[in-house]
Amino acid sequence: MAFSPLVDELVDSLRCLPGVGQKTAQRMAFHLLERGRSGGVRLAGALNQAMDNVRRCSSCQNFSDTEICQLCAKPERRTGTLCVVESPSDLLAIEQAGDYRGSYFVLMGHLSPIDGVGPEEIGIERLLQRIREEGVAELILATNPTVEGEATAHYIADRLDGQNILITRLAHGIPVGGELGYVDGFTLTHAFRGRKPLSE
Ligand SMILES: [Zn+2]
């Protein structure tokens, strides 16, 4: 049913969000129009700004407004320890746990040949280049404990075979099949402290 092309377009646009189907999109649209106009205007402005200006940090691949993100720009985070995560929400979860003070590399995904995601798509060459250039002493492979996350960790470890780098993986506490972004800070801190070499 079409009673307003503008409302239809708004509903259709909202459906690009994950987990939002037709009914939810309609509810969101009607809410914004009925009771949330100022929020809607703010949302539109924020979306415009973010879509135009947010890019990927040239060092860690995380989202950033600038060429180098705020975290990579801090010299005190260059500790010789580099932590590889799958997504920005994983990085945030580790940062919020507060125990880790090194730097990051965000893959923005994991290896998934079925979906056409290979080493190039997740920036493996850039990661290896960074490890060489920065003289990384420890690489923490904090990919998710899923089949794809494990495969990605092992692929990276294989590419570094024979190099003098301690390669570690997060230990106990992270539920198998789970995602780091949903793990509480205490569990994550515990897992971080208990990390061990990948080969064990
Ligand atoms: Zn960065």
pLDDT in tens, 141-153: 999 888 899 899 9
Per-residue pLDDT at 193: 74
Q: How far is the CA of 110 from the centre of ligand 1 (A)?
A: 18
Cα 30 to middle of ligand 1, angstroms: 38
Higher-pLDDT residue of 171 and 189 is: 189
How far, in Å, from the CA of 13 to the mean position of ligand 1? 30
* Helix, coil or strand: residue 163: coil
The listed range with the strongest mean pLDDT (28-32, 77-81, 177-181) is 28-32
Question: Can you give the pLDDT at residue 123?
Answer: 94
Any long-range contacts for 95-101 (C-beta under 8 Å, 24+ apart)?
96/185, 97/185, 97/186, 97/188, 97/189, 97/192, 98/185, 98/189, 99/189, 99/192, 99/193, 100/192, 101/76, 101/77
Q: What is the pTM of this model?
A: 0.78
Spacing, Cα 21 to ligand 1 middle (Å): 34
Residues with CB under 5 A from ligand 1 (ion): 57, 59-60, 69, 72
| 61 Cα–ligand 1 center, Å | 6
Per-residue pLDDT, 176: 67
Q: Which fold has domain 63-169?
A: Dna Topoisomerase Vi A Subunit; Chain: A, domain 2 (3.40.1360)
CA of 108 to the centre of ligand 1 (A): 13
Q: Give start-end residues of each CATH 3.40.1360.10 domain in the chain.
A: 63-169
Considering only the top CATH level, what class is 5-53?
mainly alpha
CATH 1.10.8.420 maps onto the chain at 5-53
